[in-house]
Structure 1
Amino acid sequence: MRRAVPAVRRGTGPDVGPRLPLGGATLLSVLIASALVAAGCGTEPTPHATATCGTHQTQRDAQRAKDTVDADGDGVYCESLPCPCDGTPDDGRRSRSRSAAAAPTSGSSTTAGPDGGRSDATPPLGDGAGGVDEDPAGCTVVPRTVDIGISGTRYPEVRRHWERAIREGQPRVLTVRRAGAAVRRTELLRGIPTRPGEDRDEYPPAMARDRVSASVAYVDAAQNRGAGTVQGVKLRRYCSGQRFRVVWY
């Protein structure tokens, strides 16, 4: 006599929820969606650099082409190339004229000694497009301390000097003060001899202090002028009164 086998309901049970039949149309939809995801459809393509900074003659050329690597991700390409330069992208904040910029405040600094220096032929770091003592047209002041990225691997001598100056008491957070920068710089470097192949580097820069005294050190001329170009491009968008700090990367 054959024993009756109890019927088993497929697709149900204590550990298995109800299962829906997977029809041909549903299966086809799943396969198509998987193929689209694998192919990257519906997503933005990742940009790749197609050139190097050496491809371009000036920073403006590289900025307009946007075909190189932006090392610090700030939107400014090939910052070490010579000017003419293009400014940094607008951050959406309303510009203020320099007459509306915050008034500079006094800061402390130490007097340069005979072991320092920077080339008289080099303009102060961060000078404006209208001249070393003038703010550039359309500049802005934002209510925060902005970070200015400069490559410490490309300009190691400048980095060592600035970090040493900060350890010795110079301020880390600076304020743009373009008015009178040329006079402060000339007075600071008076009597400090020049050296072939080296510049007399200042910290704080003349355009970021309100008095003559500052730390001065001899550094490689190419490094000093390259770092100066980078900082000048990145500060061009900001008026006097803007607080900033240099972040080395």
Structure 2
Amino acid sequence: MKIFLINKKNKKGNVFSMWWFVMAVLVAAVIYIMVNMFFQSPIDIRDLEVNSLINHVADCIYYAGQFNNNINFVPKNSLEKQDSTLENNPVSNNLKIDKEFLIKNCNLNLYDENYPKENQYFIQVNIYELKTVSNSLDYEDNLLVSYIAGNEILKDYCDLQLQKNFYPSANALEEVKYEDNIYKTLPFCKNKKFYASTRQIMSDNSRNEYIVEIIGGIKKLNENVKI
């Protein structure tokens, strides 16, 4: 009788041990598959990077209700007045893009040691004068200032993507499917626009009003995209 009970307990113990062994193998297999999938499919964080870059430049251009003191609304070769304040400078039609302002005045370091031969970042700032025309706001034809820094080759990609709403946000990568996922092998671009005004009130109780547009682009395909 005692021998029978012992054998019965041993059988239950063997079944119990085998069940735990199978469960352990399944859990280990699931963990292995998940880890393998994670490392084979890099996470695209360029959306976060370009947001950080744009926000940094935005604070440099306009902060606490004031424009950066070094901003000049007239190109260097068009200055006719000693006074270079925003309110007193006329708008020039001979606008030239300033490629030094952002690096010098916004504490930008766009160099990446992982890409010593090609700059992976692009940033552009456009400042427009905001005018009311026929009870509607118009600014696109009133460009006053344009600054660029980084890899200018990315500008063409950004112009194309933003014009066609190619992928304005990270969510669009899931919503829009292109053949062979070609869109993933292109630089990631994003833009931001915000309203700005000068604190000084004019003689007619109005303020000078502006639209600031910032366009940022990041390439960095090796870390973020599986090609």
TM-score (norm 2): 0.30
TM-score (norm 1): 0.28
Q: Which structure has greater strand proportion? A: 2
Q: Which structure has greater helix proportion? A: 2
